[in-house]
Chains A and B, each alone.
Chain A
Amino acid sequence: MDKRNIFPISADSKVTHELEPRELGTCEKERRKFISQVLGGSLMLMALPTLASTLFKQGMSEAEKQRIKKEYLEKYCPPGYDPFAHQWAYGIDAYKCIGCNQCMTACKLENGLPGHPSINNRWIERYTKLAGDPHVHVDSCTEPANIAVSDPDNFIYRFDDRYAEADVEYSFFVPKMCNHCADPVCTQVCPKGATFQTPDGAVLVDEDRCIGCLYCKQACPYGARYLRPIPARPDGVTRVAGKCTWCWHRITKGQEPACVDICPKKALIFGDLNDPNSDISLWFKEHGRELLVLKGDMGTHPSVKYIGINEEVR
């Protein structure tokens, strides 16, 4: 035997490459039957909801809808306030904002938040581009240097003057808050149904239902949510998701949100889009083509619109 032949197939052994045609076995037949049945069944299942909705959902007549709406208005809406009659919107003029943080103070005192600079319904960011520096520097009230010049115990928040000596290309303040999206993400992910959208466009949190799991915080593209300490509930929950409510307790009484009321530069505008002569309708009309939203590509359709920001603002 040749020592070099290490392969087990010898040169004269025959290898057939042809497969002989044979009949389908029982196994294959069963499989094909199974697949066709599963397909048919799943199609049926898919058709069922549509079928059911056409059969039953049409049963909710106009009269029934009106009855539900009436009951909603009478039993659950604050007296004298019709959420169906309003469509609130908010405008922020970053050209005018001077970063005085008065809106933040007002918001905290109005909504009973603690003074800690990280627990905010709204905050202001400073965007600064230095000459010769490709990066844009962003800082807000939570930064240690800014806390050092602030007085959180007395609800006073300030920006330090860190760019006084620097060669600044541009710098501006941007107030940030919950965008009260028309298609909110937070309401979709909430496992308890604790966050919801009212017919007037505000996105609110039910403090009694929220368990503080913060799925909404993870879902929110604007970082507008946080854990808010509350007095301990019977079920032991001490912190729930907090967010801007557009001061719902104020707007239902015909007042503006506290931040809009307090702003010394009129950089914040709030109003009803259903009223063509409201502040916000006129402001939207005036700045029609300049209006920008944050993260428009997220498809959330924010109700808060900006002017005076650039593409660096996220």
Chain B
Amino acid sequence: MKGKNKTPHYAVRLVVLILIGGFTFFVGLRFFVPEGSKLTGSYDAESLLYIASAPVEYAGSKSCGNTNCHESLFKTWSEGAHGAKEEQSKCETCHGPQGKHPEKDSKLPKVRGDGNVVELCLTCHRKMKARSTTGQPQITPQEHPYPHEGVLICTQCHNPHSPGFNKPVSSSVSSPDTAIDPKAKSTTTDGSSGGESKGASLASSCFSCHGPKGRGGFAPVLAGQPYEALKNKLIKFRSGELKGTMMNPVASKIKDEEIDALAHYFSGIK
């Protein structure tokens, strides 16, 4: 009877093994469990700091207007159709993320994507069956007065920062049949010589973006730039060597002597 009650040796071994295993497990926990998991019980709380440390790419429209950099543009935008309503097209909706723009590069922010402005506008303004007809104006490119001869992109008639139909700055808009309106000669003041007057009439189609007389628009200032630089840039835009926001489709239609006249005109303005 006594021998029957004695615990078999294999059972003793099993119990000892379990005890050793358990001991190593709980001791190991102390060393291998990350500090962050001891608090939460499951996940590593340290990952919170890692996730929160990601860089902010979209800085928000206010950061463009609150600084001294783009105040006038911000004002135009906030009073226009894109910024005045509750449904705002933000700066970065079209220009892409600019969170790193002020520190990293001093270049002017381009529009996002491949620079095709017409397609960028149509992203929201193309008429589609699934889109509710209320809200933003929606067009079918074939029905909208586009493309006129001379009018290649939306921004020639609509200011992207304050859309709505502007009284056409470009003479070619008012008379779509001819790319260059002969009447434009009389509207320009410095039409003294033949070459300059031709340049002036051509240049009027640049004013919608670059501002009257090549100054004060949202596109870079042209007035007073060196003749060679202007000419080279236009040629490069035409050949596609230089990628611009909207200059490539515009420059593709300009002839050599017209480039010469334009460069002459803008370099002559002081």
Interface string of B116-133 (1 = CB under 8 A from A): 000100011010111110
Docked-complex contact A249 and B129, CB < 8 angstroms: no
Residues of B within 8 Å of A111, CB to CB, are 54
> Which B-chain residue is minimally distant from A164 (CB atoms)?
B129
Docked-complex contact A76 and B93, CB < 8 angstroms: no
* Number of chain B residues whose Cβ lies closer than 8 Å to a Cβ of chain A: 46
Residues of A within 8 Å of B48, CB to CB, are 76-78, 198, 204
Given contacts A102-B123, A249-B51, A264-B90, contact A76 B46 (CB under 8 A): yes
Any A CB within 8 A of the CB of B57: yes
The residues in A between 164 and 222 inclusive whose CB is less than 8 angstroms from any CB of B are 164, 166, 168, 171-173, 193-196, 198, 204, 206-209
- Of the listed stretches B35-43, B213-221, B228-236, B260-268, chain A binds B35-43
* Number of chain A residues whose Cβ lies closer than 8 Å to a Cβ of chain B: 60
Docked-complex contact A264 and B124, CB < 8 angstroms: yes
Chain B at the A interface: mostly helix, strand, loop or mixed?
loop
The residues in B between 111 and 159 inclusive whose CB is less than 8 angstroms from any CB of A are 112-114, 119, 123-124, 126, 128-132, 135-136
Residues of A within 8 Å of B20, CB to CB, are none
> What are 22 A-B residue pairs whose CB atoms fall within 8 Å in the complex?
A72-B45, A76-B46, A99-B128, A99-B130, A100-B124, A151-B114, A154-B114, A156-B123, A159-B130, A161-B129, A164-B128, A171-B130, A173-B130, A195-B43, A198-B48, A249-B51, A249-B53, A250-B56, A258-B58, A262-B93, A264-B136, A266-B86
Q: Chain A interface (Cβ within 8 Å of chain B)?
A: 68, 71-72, 75-78, 81, 95-96, 98-102, 105-106, 109-112, 126, 128, 151, 154-156, 158-159, 161, 163-164, 166, 168, 171-173, 193-196, 198, 204, 206-209, 245, 248-250, 252-253, 255, 258, 261-262, 264-266
Q: Chain B interface (Cβ within 8 Å of chain A)?
A: 35-37, 39-40, 42-58, 60, 86-90, 92-93, 96-97, 112-114, 119, 123-124, 126, 128-132, 135-136
